[in-house]
Amino acid sequence: MRLLLIRHGETSDNVDRIIGSRLPGPALTRTGREQADGLAARLAHVPAVVHSSQARRAVETAETVAATLGVPHVQVEGLHEIDAGDLEGRPFADALEGYAGTMQGWWTDPDARIPGGESGSEFIARFDRALTTVVDGAPDDAVVAVVSHEAAISVWAANVATNLDAEFSRTHGIANTGVVELEGSPQDGWVVTSWDGHPVAP
């Protein structure tokens, strides 16, 4: 199975460097809509369905791609961004240690909690549940597309992929409408084959 984890298009929070994790969240900017328009043409593998989180920015991105490809779009509960808790709405620079720093700490302490938000164990469990509903019953040769969020994609992929480690997760972000490609299955495990357009060694 090929799993495409796609970051949504640009929002005002992205432009202003503000942490925004709560639903429904902001809409796409004009640039974000243009990015969504171009995303379908960039996909090397065409899915039968485009799934997304329930956040407005992810829904708008997925709806645009699905309409371009002529395939259905399905919203899935649990694919939203990692809960920022007390750091919601704060400038990213001010909240870096509490938000991204806590996520990095999940490599050694998955029960560490973002202040007022999620622990690593809680996030991985709910994202796993959501993705299981997406891939359950899909054939081995299926292409599964999911529009989600940068931190959620980065943390989950680095946690489950056998060829990524803590250093990779510290040094690799995902641009708006960037794609992380994985191969495998929940039963057999996952390997990242490309990260935001760049191949990854197995």
The length of the chain is 202
d(CA 174, CA 89) in angstroms, rounded, equals 20
Contacts of residue 22, Cβ cutoff 8 Å, sequence gap at least 6: 83, 84, 88
Beta bridge partners of 74: 51
Contacts of residue 56, Cβ cutoff 8 Å, sequence gap at least 6: 24, 25, 26, 27
pTM (two decimals): 0.94
Question: Could you read off the pLDDT tens digit of each residue along the chain, which spans 202 residues?
Answer: 999 999 999 999 999 999 999 999 999 999 999 999 999 888 878 899 999 999 999 999 999 999 999 999 999 999 999 999 999 999 988 888 899 999 999 999 999 999 999 999 999 999 999 999 999 878 888 999 999 999 999 999 999 999 998 888 888 999 999 999 999 988 889 999 999 999 998 8
**So where are the chain's domains?**
2-199
Q: Which CATH class is domain 2-199?
A: alpha beta
